[in-house]
Amino acid sequence: MKRKTILVTGGAGYIGSHTCLELLEAGYDVVVIDNLSNSKLEALTRVQHITQKTLVFHQGDIRDKHFLFEVFSRHKIDAVIHFAGLKAVGESCEKPLAYYHNNIYGTLVLTETMAEYAIKTLVFSSSATVYGDPESVPITENFPLSATNPYGRTKLFIEEILRDLAQADQNNPVSSPWKISILRYFNPIGAHESGLIGEDPNGIPNNLMPYIAQVAVGKLPQLSIFGNDYPTSDGTGVRDYIHVVDLAKGHLQALLALFAKQPEQGGCQAYNLGTGSGISVLAMVQAFEQATGQKIAYQFAPRRAGDIAACYADPSLAAQELNWRSEKNLDAMMLDTWRWQSGNPEGYR
Ligand code: NAD
Ligand code: UD1
């Protein structure tokens, strides 16, 4: 049987590069599109070095229709995994139009092009942020959706667009239907166990794990823990941290499930990708110290605007329908983060 070819938008980024690695290991042909606005080509060079396999890279923007046409004409693509997007919450509040243009318009151009080439199998990167401030935890996929910032709104709007797209086909018996998986990631952390690829944020990190790692390596003096008066076990925020390699594997399982559908069986389904366990900020600091032997200096600071007390997944739908579960524990997340950070203190630079 001919090997399937997967187009990965944003494939040079943090989650994209780990997913490209898993795709190559699983025997897929991989074509990456990335404008390198938040990533380095070196990540993909290293993916090829680790796997001893090659992928095809096209530098360009998903909003550029001519560019997309060229890529879609050149390769026989079976499915698309769509990671490309801007993801910084704070920046999205300062530059909402840049976020709407990049994320929403980009997805429109991509899906229009897919439709023109009759490629209608899609896995989309959404986020637990679409649950807003959930009424309770764990969160299941049928919880109410809302957004508290422009970044979150782009994910919510794109989800709605994809649901409309799948719905429209159900009323149109002539064309083959869209098969879409929306993956709602909880908090991806960690790095590939080789220590060669990992998260490489620009400037001072916004997210907890890269911040802790940069304190450990001496790039930042201390961690500020945003809030110690939340209604949680120790007062600090609780999240569902998931190893990026587990997350990457979730994309392969989502693809398999879409490929296994009958040709006429379309639809759009969202899945939570998380571990199902909530961990507090203080517990994260302790787990990092224990796993790596590195001391993390910290101070308590006021709550960060827009933060919620607790957010963790009920991941049972992905277990049932995608045959996917997270496998790596907190210790592995910490050790792999440290291997990457200590071996690459300046990231890919
Ligand atoms: P990332 O920034 O490392 O990767 C995104 C990639 O997309 C980058 O390589 C960037 O250069 C590229 N890109 C951005 N806009 C583009 C465009 N218009 N055309 C072509 N390439 C473009 O981010 P990531 O952490 O790997 O996240 C991947 C996806 O997952 C994003 O859509 C993000 O919103 C989503 N997500 C991430 C997290 C997280 O914590 N990392 C959580 C939930 C959802
Ligand atoms: C953040 C985004 C969210 C996005 C997710 C994954 C915000 C408000 N939310 O979520 O939209 O989907 O990343 O990319 O940015 N913390 C500290 N000190 C720090 C950094 C974080 O105490 O320096 C705390 C936070 O208050 C939170 C926890 O650590 O309780 C995790 O924070 P973070 O890694 O930024 O992820 P989220 O806030 O869950």
CATH number, domain containing residue 99? 3.40.50.720
Rounded to the nearest whole angstrom, what is the distance from the C-alpha of residue 315 to the centroid of ligand 2? 20
**246 occurs within a structural domain:** yes
**Going by C-beta distance under 8 Å and a sequence separation of 6 or more, which residues neighbour residue 79?**
4, 6, 7, 119, 121, 122, 123, 255, 258, 259
Q: Which amino acid is at 69?
A: F
- Number of domains composing the chain: 1
- At 65 the pLDDT is 98
Q: Does residue 87 line the site of ligand 1, with CB under 6 A?
A: yes
- At 176 the pLDDT is 86
Q: Does residue 250 line the site of ligand 1, with CB under 6 A?
A: no
Whole-angstrom distance, CA of residue 31 vs CA of residue 88: 26
Q: Which residues of the chain have pLDDT under 50?
A: none
- At 55 the pLDDT is 99
Strands 238-239 and 279-280: antiparallel
**57 occurs within a structural domain:** yes
Query: 24 is in which domain, residue-wise?
Result: 5-343
**91 occurs within a structural domain:** yes
- At 2 the pLDDT is 85
Which of 8, 34, 122, 202 is the pocket-test mutation for ligand 1 (most atoms within 8 Å of CB)? 34
Which of 156, 206, 212, 244 is the pocket-test mutation for ligand 2 (most atoms within 8 Å of CB)? 206
- At 271 the pLDDT is 99
**348 occurs within a structural domain:** no
Rounded to the nearest whole angstrom, what is the distance from the C-alpha of residue 317 to the centroid of ligand 2? 25
**349 occurs within a structural domain:** no
312 is catalytic: no
- At 260 the pLDDT is 97
**291 occurs within a structural domain:** yes
Picking from 246, 234, 337, the residue whose alpha carbon sits closest to that of residue 282 is 234
Rounded to the nearest whole angstrom, what is the distance from the C-alpha of residue 257 to the centroid of ligand 2? 31
**184 occurs within a structural domain:** yes
pTM score, whole prediction: 0.98
**231 occurs within a structural domain:** yes
Picking from 204, 235, 196, 212, the residue whose alpha carbon sits closest to that of residue 290 is 212
Rounded to the nearest whole angstrom, what is the distance from the C-alpha of residue 244 to the centroid of ligand 1? 13
Q: Which of 28, 151, 185, 271 is catalytic?
A: 151
